[in-house]
Amino acid sequence: MIKDLPFTLPSLRAAYDAGTTPAEVIAEAFARLDAVNDPGILIHDGREAAMAAAAALGPRDGRPLWGVPFLVKDNIDVAGMPTTAACPDFAYMPETDAFVVARLLAAGAICLGKTNLDQFATGLVGVRSPYPVPLNAIDPAIVPGGSSSGSAVGVAHGIAAFSLGTDTAGSGRVPGALNALVGLKPSLGALSGSGMVPACRTLDTISVFAFTVADAWDVFAVAQAEDPADAYSRAFPAPRLSAMPSVPRIGVPTANTLETAGDADQAASFRETVTRLRTAGAEVVEIDFTPFYEVARLLYEGAWVAERTAAIGARLTEKPETLHPVTLQIVGSGVSLTAVDAFRAQYRLAALRKICMAALDGIDMLCVPTIPRFVTVEEIIADPIGPNSMLGTYTNFVNLLDLCGLAVPCGTRRDGRPASVTLLGRAGHDARLAAVGMMLEAGPMGATGWTRSAPPALPDSAGADELEVLVCGAHMSGLPLNGELTRLGARFLRACRTAPGYRLYALAGGPPERPGLSRQSGAGTGIAAEIWALPRAGVGAFLAGIPAPLGLGSVTLDDGSSVKGFICEAAGLDGARDITEFGGWRDYLKAPKEAAQPVGSPAA
């Protein structure tokens, strides 16, 4: 029955295959909205336009989001629906769709309406709105999370399959944690900001809420494209899911820098997730998070408060009565800041960024709690600022450091509340986060009671515009030269072994230490390696960076197939140490170095 239909992409596609119509799905979406009876979710109810769009779809045509209902935060333009940014006096009627919205509509998605938010996207609690405040879908006593409050609550109730939020300081992640949803905050510039009301334009991005990582990724893949009209849009490779690296190195806060604001259940939940990562084969590295917290504090000091002030503009002085009192208090403080303050903040950020990036050296991604603890509505009434700031502990630094993020529901805490962690990676590493997120996601899907199914199998072969490249040493995941691949948009496909007959050597020179793979007559063995998909557009740049005596050639795998990979010319083995007995570079690195013998020694 359609009343029981989960609004996930696979379920909707299956229902359409079975004969369900878009009109039936959209009618059910609004029936669910009416049944929830929360006037705070939507600022603009677009049911007439949505029903008309469903009727106009025509026969199913293979578009990836055909007939999929979604919601849009009301600081993002949808043609024919007013944009208010939760400030009625600011309202205007856009004639065109925001760039991202236009791409989703072109893919067949149907917009249900515009959702409530913290006014001008300023806040992480979701209660700074002149409209009725949306209720948290899991527990009405808890804040819904902001600023993308209505976007998260609407999906968590099963009204839409996904929604668009925005994220400057965590607005696309915190509401996900508070409502048991996935919150995908892409790399800055991956999703165009054209048609989005700015909060901090240098840090803003549109984000995606969904029930599963796979659904959020499908939406992101449709929405992502470089936009010539957006000065902050960046050209990233076409988004493709990447398998989890064979031994990902994941950074977590040290025990003494893990902040959970006294919430023992949150700390225990996070430790359980870290244990799951280790069990899945990850190498967990503890990192002092003090400099990351210092970056987070910068967001509401100096340059970036002034940027919010600039976004709101003359309204602060000419029409202050149109602003929410807390919004006015926060953004109004930027009026007294000077250009000197802004530059000092930029200098401090540059110094802290260098420290943070050094801490990330050799790390594939970070894993942190999405929020330190839950916050109640009563707490925010008593103190509108303090608890809001606390919610940003693990989110405020992310855009300042140009990281991508993925908030993932990962089960239920001991007290029954939803558990959530956020994975963070360097710009352009969104696919890596999704791979690990799919492995971690668990627990309730919002407040729907729907069962979470197994994640889809990830692709293990290259696309038509990619080249499969075998790496067997310092270019493998988590090792020092892996960035030479990932900076070119390469993605991990699978672990593998070479066919028997290869020998592995630790070459002379370095750092970094490098191996040489050589096929030789006589004894040899299969060598552990990884296969990465490298965009063909980046092959030339990659080849240019390969020093002698290494090069790319054909390597035979243990299944008989052949792939391009690193090989070493014979002259480069002079002075090298034969490490074939270890079976691979990682195992060699873990072993005492005296165990390997130089080429030409009696034991070689």
Average predicted confidence (pLDDT) for the chain = 93
Whether the predicted pLDDT of 62 surpasses 90: yes
Residue 480 or 388, more confident:
388
Residues 102 and 236 in one domain: yes
Structure tokens at 432: 């890596």
Helix, strand or coil for residue 402?
coil
Residues 297 and 209 in one domain: no
Residues 129 and 13 in one domain: yes
Tell me if 548 is assigned to some domain.
yes
Whether the predicted pLDDT of 524 surpasses 70: no
In which band, very low, low, confident or very high, does the pLDDT at 522 lie, cut at 50, 70 and 90?
low
Which residues make beta-bridge pairs with 369?
421
Tell me if 520 is assigned to some domain.
yes
Between CA 329 and CA 75, with CA 135 as vertex, the angle to 5 degrees is: 55
Residues 21 and 118 in one domain: yes
Pairing verdict, β 502-506 and 577-578: antiparallel
* Residue 303: CATH number of its domain: 1.20.58.1700
Model pLDDT, residue 281 = 87
Q: Which residues are catalytic?
A: 73, 147, 171
Residues 25 and 165 in one domain: yes
Residue that terminates a domain, selected from 296, 328, 356 = 356
Residues 401 and 317 in one domain: no
Tell me if 376 is assigned to some domain.
yes
Structure tokens at 288: 């002092």
* Residue 594: CATH number of its domain: 3.10.490.10
Helix, strand or coil for residue 508?
coil
Residues 200 and 312 in one domain: no
Residues 240 and 377 in one domain: yes
Pairing verdict, β 182-185 and 205-210: antiparallel
Structural domain boundaries, residue 585: 466-598
pLDDT digits (tens, 9 = 90+) for 473-509: 989 887 888 888 888 888 888 889 999 889 999 988 7
Residues 334 and 376 in one domain: no
Distance CA 124, CA 107 (A): 31
Q: Using CB atoms within 10 A of its CB, is residue 539 exposed (0-12), middle (13-18) or buried (19+)?
A: middle
Tell me if 604 is assigned to some domain.
no
Q: Using CB atoms within 10 A of its CB, is residue 560 exposed (0-12), middle (13-18) or buried (19+)?
A: exposed
The domain tally of the chain equals 3
Tell me which DSSP letter residue 498 carries.
B
Tell me if 310 is assigned to some domain.
yes
Residues 299 and 152 in one domain: no
Model pLDDT, residue 321 = 96
Residues 145 and 222 in one domain: yes
Q: Which of 104, 67, 98 is nearest to 81 (CA)?
A: 98
Structure tokens at 439: 């492995």
φ/ψ bin of 177: left (φ > 0), alpha (ψ from -120 to 50), beta (otherwise): alpha
pLDDT digits (tens, 9 = 90+) for 261-286: 999 999 999 999 999 999 888 999 99
**How many other CB atoms are there within 10 angstroms of residue 131's CB atom?**
18
Structure tokens at 580: 């074939």
Distance CA 454, CA 421 (A): 19
pLDDT digits (tens, 9 = 90+) for 208-244: 999 999 999 999 999 999 999 999 999 998 888 877 7
Residue that terminates a domain, selected from 356, 387, 406 = 356
Whether the predicted pLDDT of 526 surpasses 50: yes
Whether the predicted pLDDT of 597 surpasses 70: no
Mean pLDDT of 307-331: 94
Residues 291 and 413 in one domain: no
pLDDT digits (tens, 9 = 90+) for 439-448: 999 999 999 9
Q: Which of 253, 288, 245, 314 is nearest to 485 (CA)?
A: 245
pLDDT digits (tens, 9 = 90+) for 120-152: 999 999 999 999 999 999 999 999 999 999 999
Whether the predicted pLDDT of 596 surpasses 60: no
Whether the predicted pLDDT of 94 surpasses 50: yes
Residue that terminates a domain, selected from 356, 383, 411 = 356
What is the value of pTM for the model shown?
0.89
* Residue 123: CATH number of its domain: 3.90.1300.10
Tell me if 445 is assigned to some domain.
no
Contacts of 255 (CB under 8 A, 6+ apart): 286
- Three-state secondary structure of 74-115: CCECECCECECCCCHHHCECCCCCCHHHHHHHHCCCEEEEEE
